Amino acid sequence: MSNDRNNPSAAPDARGGKYLTFVLATEEYGFEILKVREIIGLMDITRVPSMPAYVVGVINLRGKVIPVVDLRLKFGMDSTDHTPETCIIVVAVQGQLMGVVVDKVSEVLDIRAADIEDAPGVGAAVEIRFILGMAKAKGSVKILLDVDRVLSETEQAELLAGTLA
């Protein structure tokens, strides 16, 4: 019999739950569904001068101007031509809406905490601070991202200041 109740480090893993999964290059990633506001098709993106290369510009989302980040560029992957499956996932990042360009949205998965492991310390294409965990689902591994950490607080402040200028 387990003695987990007496072990404070055995607290339930809060990472379990529903995730929107999507594809970048050949890998599948996931955002917590509670951070996702909507998924929209690729639309005209207005470039903003002096932004980092991964900030592809801003869009007008029903009267609200929001920044758009290309995750491929943010993670140092090669850029690629957009396809009919390319879309923008609108997420809430620390109270602000932000668009994230991805290659393709896959599905919403309910992932048990027991199926999520910590990210390995080496060999990841994505900085480990962005990763909530590695989920085993449907016979493959999904990289679960912490959307609040994809952009550092400094980057978020600069980005939001740029969109307001």
pLDDT, position 68: 94
Q: Count of CB atoms within 10 A of residue 16's CB?
A: 16
Question: The pTM is what?
Answer: 0.83
* Residues contacting residue 103 through CB under 8 Å, at least 6 positions apart: 22, 23, 24, 25, 72, 80, 83, 85, 86
pLDDT (tens, 9 = 90+) of the chain, 165 residues, equals 333 433 434 445 788 999 999 999 999 999 999 999 999 999 999 998 888 889 999 999 999 999 999 999 998 899 899 999 999 999 998 888 999 999 999 999 999 999 999 988 765 556 777 889 999 998 999 999 998 888 766 666 666 665 444
Predicted confidence (pLDDT) per residue in 62-82, tens digit: 999 999 999 999 988 998 999
Distance CA 53, CA 14 (A): 34
